Amino acid sequence: MENKELASPREIKKLLQTYNLACHKKWGQNFLIDRNIVNKILQEVGAGPEDYIIEIGPGPGILTGPLVDSGAKVLAVEIDHGMVKILNDFLGTNERLCLVQSDVQKVNLSQLCCFYWGNFPPVKIVANLPYYITSSLLYRLFSREIPWEKAVLMMQKEVAQRLTAPVSSPDYGALTVIGSCSASVTSGFVVSRSVFYPPPKVDSMVITLEPRGFVNYPEVEKDFFELVKRAFAKRRKNIVNALHPLAGKSKEELKETVKYVGVDPGKRAEELTAEEFAKLSRLIYNEKG
Ligand code: SAM
């Protein structure tokens, strides 16, 4: 049995009523009800029998069904027991689908993949994300918690815009810098709030990310994240004052390092490019330049 009947408010309402479920705001339960958007997302994913896909927050399964139908192996992590019950009833017999009822914030995705799939190639990540976990999930992808080759993610439009914000713009921040060092946004389209049930207060955007290795010094990746977050936590201060104290360096040493990178030490974090941050981090942490 497949749940193809989800593409209207009436159908989703009926389904929820049948299972005696409500939409939980705290879990960002705004369900997609537009087949065209589903198809555009699927086109971006390009799923096929060779793929291993992690879907986060499958809900009643408007994306899950077609992903499984593509022949891909799908690991779906959903927090809500009620949604898992629906998914089990409609798709549970499909051996390509592993359904995990859990809070994705608490699961070790790498262990989960190993448990279900053993050896697996880099995965594709697909999600219509609940807004409250978007940033933390992005940072997990950027830190390569699991090997991934593509992520097709629906998120709040404002967050998606932060990923591609130009230097010195108000949206330019830690997520922009860390994101652009770790992945590239290869496409994106805006999704109106009207194609969800219930409609959220803001519009969304679907973006496709592909990892890149430009930072390429994993031993200091955590330090790099820390440096960038620290710099933007005090974004009104100049970069030296914002960073100090860091890695046991005096202000003078930090100032010299900033200069060595070719950056005026009077500049603020929002005026440094991602490349400059990467160089700075490399110099501060492993002295290789
Ligand atoms: N994929 C469905 C769709 O496109 O209609 C549902 C998307 S809805 C925006 C977000 C989904 O994520 C909900 O089903 C919600 O229950 C689930 N969710 C929320 N928080 C979660 C968490 N921490 N871990 C796993 N799933 C979560």
pLDDT tens, position by position, 159-203: 999 999 999 999 999 999 999 989 999 989 999 999 999 999 999
Distance from residue 210's CA to the centre of ligand 1 (Å): 22
Give me the pLDDT at residue 218, please.
52
The answer to whether the beta carbons of residues 74 and 68 sit under 8 Å apart is yes
User: Residues 6 or more apart from 2 whose CB is under 8 A from it?
Assistant: 65, 69, 90, 91
Query: Which H, E and C letters describe the chain, residue by residue?
Result: CCCCCCCCHHHHHHHHHHCCCCCCHHHCCCEECCHHHHHHHHHHHCCCCCCEEEEECCCCCCCHHHHHHCCCEEEEEECCHHHHHHHHHHHCCCCCEEEEECCCCCCCHHHHHHHHHCCCCCEEEEEECCHHHHHHHHHHHHCCCCCEEEEEEEEEHHHHHHHCCCCCCCCCCHHHHHHHHHEEEEEEEEECHHHEECCCCCCEEEEEEEECCCCCCHHHHHHHHHHHHHHHHCCCCEHHHHHCCECCECHHHHHHHHHHHCCCCCCEHHHCCHHHHHHHHHHHHHCCC
Give the position, in ligand 1's atom list, of the atom nearest the Cα of 131. Answer: 9
Residue whose CA is at the smallest distance from ligand 1 atom 5 = 31
Give the position, in ligand 1's atom list, of the atom nearest the Cα of 6. Answer: 5
Instruction: Tell me what the pLDDT averaged over the chain comes to.
Output: 92
Ligand 1 binding pocket mutation candidate from 11, 23, 27 (most atoms within 8 A of CB): 27
Q: What percent of the chain has pLDDT over 90?
A: 81
Distance from residue 130's CA to the centre of ligand 1 (Å): 5
Give the residue, 213 or 18, on which the prediction is more confident.
Answer: 18
Tell me the C-alpha distance between 29 and 170, whole Å.
29
Ligand 1 binding pocket mutation candidate from 5, 6, 24, 29 (most atoms within 8 A of CB): 29
Distance from residue 3's CA to the centre of ligand 1 (Å): 17
Tens of pLDDT along 194-238?
Answer: 999 999 999 999 999 999 865 555 555 788 899 999 999 998 999
pTM of the model: 0.93
Residue in this structure with the two tokens 């803001």, named with its chain if needed: 202
Distance from residue 59's CA to the centre of ligand 1 (Å): 5
Distance from residue 24's CA to the centre of ligand 1 (Å): 10
CATH of 221-284, one of 3.30.870.10, 1.10.260.40, 1.10.8.100, 1.20.1250.20: 1.10.8.100
Distance from residue 60's CA to the centre of ligand 1 (Å): 9
Give me the pLDDT at residue 3, please.
59
Residue whose CA is at the smallest distance from ligand 1 atom 11 = 57
Give me the pLDDT at residue 213, please.
66
Give me the pLDDT at residue 289, please.
43
Per domain, the residue ranges of the chain are 9-211, 221-284
Distance from residue 34's CA to the centre of ligand 1 (Å): 16
Q: What is the mean pLDDT of residues 250-263?
A: 94
CATH number assigned to the domain covering 9-211: 3.40.50.150
Residues within a 6 A CB radius of ligand 1: 27-32, 56-59, 62-63, 77-80, 83, 103-105, 128, 130, 133
